[in-house]
Amino acid sequence: MNSDAFVFFGATGDLAQKKVFPALQALARDGRLDIPVIGFARSPWSDAHFREHAKKSIEQHDTLDPAAFERLARHLHYVRGDYTDPAAFERLAKALGSAKHPLHYLAIAPSRFEMVVRGLHAAGCTEGARVVVEKPFGRDLASARELNATLHASFDESAIFRIDHYLGKEPVQNLLYYRFANSFLEPIWNRNHVASVQITMAEAFGVQGRGAFYDEVGATRDVVQNHLLQVLALLAMDPPVNTGADALRDEKLRLFRAIRPLATDQVVRGQFAGYRNETGVAPNSNVETYVAMRLAIDNWRWAGVPIYIRAGKNLPLTCTEVQVELVRPPQRLFPDDPPHAANTLRFRLSPDVLIAQGARVKAPGEAMAGRDVELIARRAAHEDRLPYERLLGDALRGDAALFTRDDCVEAAWAVVQPALNETAPVEPYEPGTWGPAGAARLIAGGHWHNPHLTPPTPPSA
């Protein structure tokens, strides 16, 4: 069932300017948005002012398509109101007119979800409707449960779409496709052939003026509990019976529940030098700008395989990459080869997209010695569709496959909850390095794979 109206709260905010308006224009360009689009916010604007604001936002953060924007602008309307004012929600109900199945998008702070949902319910705007909420889905396990209870008071779980833009990215979707569209992976995708898995999300920049926000969040809440655990789920979950939303999310849930909750000796927290001087950051802040962890999955497929995850700011480069190391050959036939030589699979998710298989081949010469090479399976530099375009389009159609379910959210929080309770001082590290030295102790007998960026090889003539 397609939604017959789109309402978004926080229509004058930063998220709307950067992500929502460009996505709506893309949907209109593709002919997938021919319904009323109603913005709701406090600013005393008219419909005309709201349309001009949308146009300027697209010009600033994307490329204006005059024909597509004209199609979008015909559907744009504005409702002014405070989230605590019942009369404002009555005006919204009137603006919805004959719409029976609106999609309400809460592009607002989670602290305001409850009052907006209550207002929608009181005005009769929740019956037959869907709701989209932005991450973070709580700050910990307890608050995630409270948030779910708030949403369930007015919406069935099937009508709740928890949006994480990371799941809408083409490279992340390619992980799912690559795993289950190719038969050669399945025989080796288990504890018998995989020695370890590393997932790295490195950012070469700091908090970029968002010190007050980041000091309330930290790296674990910001990217590990959501983005990187979702990447791990796509890598490690069992095959779903189909690509339907429930089948995919059932397998993710089984995977999350199999991950052993973190112990304090499996986590290293770091903070880059100078973080406490950032505007909005407490002078004695113990918030991590870097986190590394070793996870264990207690199921038949992955028992005994260490999973390493790390994320940090002010690292040497910006890159998200997965490195899967396979078990080494059982016998070292070529003494001149290094003892650590092993095959690998590498998935780069950003800034470009790359899937590569690492292997050993003989080096030229008389000696039976080898060298490492990589076979590149796929390389691309951009996405054809914006993540928000993909996700909002799916929500309008009622396709929940790329959205997170309540039990999956809570299971992911349960994994990292011990790390959130950690009070030991963060370990300092210098900007431009790969984080605190203590992270090395997580990998017994091994080392972190540090991504490196090289320009793509031009195609041969």
Q: Which residues are catalytic?
A: 227
Residue 19: name the closest of 148, 126, 135, 172 by CA. 135
Residue 370: name the closest of 337, 345, 324, 393 by CA. 337
Residue 107: name the closest of 46, 41, 157 by CA. 41
Burial of 320 (0-12, 13-18, 19+ CB in 10 A): buried
Q: For the chain, what percentages of helix, strand and coil (3-state, to nearest 5) are there?
A: 35, 20, 40
Under DSSP, is residue 442 helix (H, G, I), strand (E, B) or coil?
helix
- What angle (nearest 5°) sits at the alpha carbon of residue 199, between those of residues 220 and 346? 160
What is the DSSP code string of 133-176? EESP--SSHHHHHHHHHHHHTTS-GGGEEEE-GGGGSHHHHHHH
Distance of CA 218 to the CA centre of its chain: 15
| Residues contacting 78, CB < 8 A, separation 6+ | 11, 38, 39, 40, 41, 45, 46, 47, 49, 50
Between CA 216 and CA 44 the distance in angstroms is 31
State how beta strands 370-380 and 5-9 pair.
unpaired
Under DSSP, is residue 187 helix (H, G, I), strand (E, B) or coil?
helix
Burial of 357 (0-12, 13-18, 19+ CB in 10 A): middle
Between CA 141 and CA 262 the distance in angstroms is 14
- DSSP 8-state symbol, 317: S
